[in-house]
Amino acid sequence: NLTKKEALCLEVEELVQTPAMDLGKKIQAIQKQWKQIGPVPRRHDEKIWKRFRAGCDSYFNWLDAQRQKNLRMKTTLCELAEALIPAADGDPIAPGTIDTVIGMQKQWKTIGPVPREKSDELWQRFTGTCDLFFVDRKRQQEEQEKTRHANLNAKEEILRLAGEAMALPTDQEITDRLKELQQQWKAIGPAPREHEQILWDEFHGLCNAFFQKKREQYLEKNAVLEENLKKKEELCFQLERITGQRSAGAAAATGSALDLVEQFKIAREANFMLAGKTTSTQKKREEVRRIQQEWKKIGPTFREQEQRLWKRYRKAIDVIYADTPDHGRKTAPRKEDQAAAAKTSE
């Protein structure tokens, strides 16, 4: 019997070297074995009992201390959870609070048992506090769902209005209306997830299609204005070469829309005309009339360039007619020229 009890003492002493919360049942099983072993010689009885009891007490003292530590940790979690409760009923839960509470629940599970007399009370306190958050989260989710459906209706209405805007009489009115609707869209919160992207793609696509078409029209119009600018520059250049007002180099220095090659080409043709029979007054006037007819056929150019070109054109015309015997009645702008100027400057 002494040998058996010494073996149990040794087993307990080895176990308590690395105590753990789950050793309690094993220690209790060893205690049960101890009781089943009969008496030992009297001279060894007290010593072997004290040794065995010291080993067991060492473990249970550690276990009590650990449970007190767990009690403090779980009490702290209860206090932290309670501190997160909104100040008043109906107040929104701060962002991230639910994640914090879920983290506390996970931490609770990693903490071992507390003293038995405190266990139920502490558990009810903690779970009751956590339940408040999840009940409130459910309420908020229901409110958010209602809001999202209201947002869905609002965005569907904006989409309908955007479609109607395409029938407005002018591009500027359509542009203003779409920009207004875009601002309204930004002010509305999200719709239900299964509808949000579909609605956005449709609205965004409608707006993009219009603005892309408008941009293409602008570029096309710009190209026409640029071409008209070149044509009018060319006619002015031809007139100035006829009158001898400008050389090719001087024209290049003014930043003309014509490139240098075009300017020299026109200059060469004008020089050829002036060098031959075309230098006669009659031929000059015929050439000028041809240029005037071409000018009338050209549409408008950029607003900031139009008046400058018109003045340049009229100046060259006036110089040409001033050289003729009847220049007194030719220097004033003709009615058809005035009409052309008014048309191109609109």
> Residue 344 and residue 346: Cα distance in Å, rounded?
6
Model pLDDT for residues 109-166, shown as the tens digit of each residue: 999 899 989 999 999 999 998 988 888 888 888 888 999 999 999 999 999 999 999 9
Q: Please state which of the ranges 33-47, 272-286, 293-307, 308-322 shows the lowest mean pLDDT.
A: 272-286
> Residue 68 and residue 62: Cα distance in Å, rounded?
10
Decide which of 339 and 241 is more confident. 241
Model pLDDT for residues 54-98, shown as the tens digit of each residue: 989 888 899 899 999 999 999 999 999 988 887 556 667 777 888
pLDDT at 325: 54
Closest Cα partner for 240 from 222, 258, 225?
A: 258
User: Is the Cβ–Cβ distance between 155 and 191 less than 8 Å?
Assistant: yes
Confidence band of 256 (pLDDT split at 50, 70, 90): low
User: Is the Cβ–Cβ distance between 92 and 49 less than 8 Å?
Assistant: no
Model pLDDT for residues 9-68, shown as the tens digit of each residue: 998 888 888 888 778 888 889 899 888 888 878 888 889 899 889 989 888 899 899 999
- What are the backbone dihedrals phi and psi of residue 249, each rounded to the nearest 5 degrees, phi first? -65, -40
Which sequence spans correspond to the domains of the chain? 2-135, 141-217, 224-344
Structure-derived torsion over alpha carbons of residues 108, 112, 118, 121, reported in degrees to the nearest 10: 30
